[in-house]
Amino acid sequence: MTDPRRTEQVHPDHADLDRLSPLDLVGVLAADQLAAVRAVQAAAPALARAVEAALPRLARGGRLVYAGAGTSGRLGVLDATELTPTFSWPPERAVPLIAGGEAAIRRAVEGAEDDEEAGARDVRGVGTGPDDVLIAVAASGTTPYALGAVRAARAAGALSIALANNPGTPLLRAADCAVALDTGPEVISGSTRLKAGTAQKIALNTLSSALMVRLGKVYGNLMVDLRATNAKLEGRAVRLVQHATGAPEAEAYAALAAAGGHVKTAVVMLRLGLDVGAAQARLEAAGGHARAALGEVESGEREVGE
């Protein structure tokens, strides 16, 4: 019986994969990953629609809730975890759910992905509500756990976004925003940790980063919501402040120290000649958007929520 899901089909070009030299084998595996990039590029309009739909909810204080099983679930955990150090996104507003629970991050929990009710139960268990955004990820597009998560999220009034590597699958049909990442058969047949997983990682990075940019976590292309918490980040923060303000290193360092290591506040302090309290107040009035706080929003531009 032929499985209609392209991710489950045997790749037609590499029947002798196990006979290749190490160099040729690596070349084949690496080259096939290029299809992941093409799949995400083709999905750009769908990703943009998901960003637009999610922004008002997140601007009102909603959370990003991720749901998936196996590789897809682990990629959701990774994306959720990285938002805090990169964008100072509150960790309580990035909620990763993985079939089988935290134990499944390090080892497979057999059968967990087949439990649709567990997906629904996990979504309900974290109190998912109307301002939240669920991102469900499944290469097959048929994973019961992810389907249960989407259905529970929609029942709670949350926005549901689905990423899957097979077009027209039940997960994509069930969600408010469907993102098809059509990567096709894998070089190692059925191993969706390969280019299917790569496409998911790229799409998740793209989606969450676009959201953070539009929510004011970035000024120009500088990640100004970074908060320096170690030596490496301190150096990065100083360089970011210098780039944004043209201030000498000593002045950038002093402003950062006064701002508690928060790049965005230090930038507003130096650019406008304000103390830390006034800079924080100006940012708060601008909804956290550095460009607006600096008076650089041009006619026709709009902030999230307007």
Question: What DSSP line would sit under 79-142, residue for residue?
Answer: HHHHHHHHH---GGGEEEEETT-GGGGTS--TTGGG-HHHHHHHHHHTT--TT-EEEEEESSS-
pLDDT at 114: 82
Is 239:245 a contact under the CB 8 Å cutoff?
A: no
Write out pLDDT tens, residues 140-198: 999 999 999 999 999 999 999 999 999 999 999 999 999 999 999 999 988 899 999 99
Write out pLDDT tens, residues 279-302: 999 999 999 999 999 999 764 555
Question: What percentage of the chain has pLDDT greater than the value 90?
Answer: 81
Query: 45 Cβ partners below 8 Å, 6+ apart?
Result: none
Give pTM, 2 decimals: 0.91
Annotated active-site positions, please? Answer: 82, 113
Residue 245 three-state SS:
helix
Residue 273 three-state SS:
coil
**How many CB atoms are closer than 10 A to CB 191?**
14
Residue 160 three-state SS:
strand
Q: Quick check: 269 pLDDT over 90? A: yes
Q: What CA–CA distance (Å, rounded) separates 276 from 279?
A: 5
Q: What CA–CA distance (Å, rounded) separates 134 from 158?
A: 7
Q: What CA–CA distance (Å, rounded) separates 247 from 83?
A: 28
- Domains of the chain (ranges, CATH numbers): 6-216 (3.40.50.10490), 231-293 (1.10.8.1080)
- pLDDT averaged over every residue in the chain: 92
Instruction: Outline where DSSP puts E strands in the chain.
Output: 64-68, 94-98, 133-138, 159-164, 177-180
Q: How far apart are the first and last CA of the chain?
A: 53
- Tell me, what amino acid is at 51? V
pLDDT at 298: 64
Q: Which two tokens stand for residue 281?
A: 């107040």
- State the helix-helix crossing angle for 263-272 and 231-245, rounded to 10 degrees: 30
pLDDT band at residue 306 under the 50/70/90 scheme: very low
Burial category of 274 from C-beta neighbours within 10 Å (exposed 0-12, middle 13-18, buried 19 and up): middle
pLDDT at 162: 98
pLDDT at 2: 66
> Which is nearest to 109 in space by CA: 99, 117, 119, 118?
99
